[in-house]
Amino acid sequence: MHDAPKLVRQEQLTRLLLTGHSMRECAAQMDVHLHTVRKWAREPAFLAALKELSSEVFRRVDEELQSTKENMLAKLEEASDAALDRMLELVGSKNEIVALKSSQDLMDRNTALSRTKRVEGTTRHDFLTPLHLVAAAQAAREVDEYERTKGDLPANSGGSDSGS
C-alpha cells in the first residue's frame, strides 16, 4: 500500500478510536482485517498522532466547557441582580403581605439575620467543664444518700427513744 492511502486509513482509524470504537469495531467499519488495524496501532508515529489528537480534543472540549460555565455564571449573576432589584421594589409595595414576604425573603438571604439559619455546634461553655459535671454528679449522689438516710434516722431514732 502506498503511503498516502495508508495515512488516510490511519487517520480514519484515529477518528474511530477517538470516538470510542474498539479495534475490532474499527476493523469491521473500515473493512480491513483486525491484524492490520493492530499493526497500524502499534506504530510509534500512529501512537504519537493519536495521543496528540486526543489531547487536542480534550483541550477543545475543556475550553468549551469552561466557556459555557463562564457564560452560565454571567447569566446567573445578571438574573440574580434583576431578582434582587425586583424584590427591593416589592418591599415598597402598598400590599402589606407582598411587602412582608419580600422583606422576609431578603432577610433570609442574609445569614446574620436569617430565621432559617441552622444552628451550628461551635458554641462552647467554658464554665461547664467535665470536671464540673463530675463534681455535680457526686454532689447529687451525696444529696440523694443524705435524703435516704435522713428518712431512716427519725424512724430508727424514734424507735430507740420510745424503747428507752
DSSP for 86-111, please give it: HHHHHHT-SSHHHHHHHHHHHHHHST
Domain ranges of the chain: 3-79
What pLDDT, on a 0 to 100 scale, did the predictor assign at position 117?
57
What pLDDT, on a 0 to 100 scale, did the predictor assign at position 154?
53
Q: What is the pLDDT of residues 59-90, one digit of tens each?
A: 887 888 888 888 888 888 888 888 888 888 88
What pLDDT, on a 0 to 100 scale, did the predictor assign at position 160?
46
Q: Confidence class of residue 159 from pLDDT cuts 50, 70 and 90?
A: very low
> 114 or 85, which is more confident?
85
C-alpha cell at 120: 451550628
Q: Residue 42: what residue type?
A: R
Residue with cell 464540673: 132
What pLDDT, on a 0 to 100 scale, did the predictor assign at position 111?
61
- The pTM of this model reads 0.38
User: For the chain, what's the residue count?
Assistant: 164
pLDDT (average), residues 22-30 = 90
Residue with cell 445569614: 111
* Cβ pair 32, 9 in contact under 8 A: yes
CATH architecture of the domain covering 3-79: Orthogonal Bundle (1.10)
Give the whole-number percent of the chain exceeding pLDDT 70: 77
What pLDDT, on a 0 to 100 scale, did the predictor assign at position 18?
85
Q: Report the candidate in 101, 82, 76 with the shortest Cα–Cα distance to residue 90.
A: 101
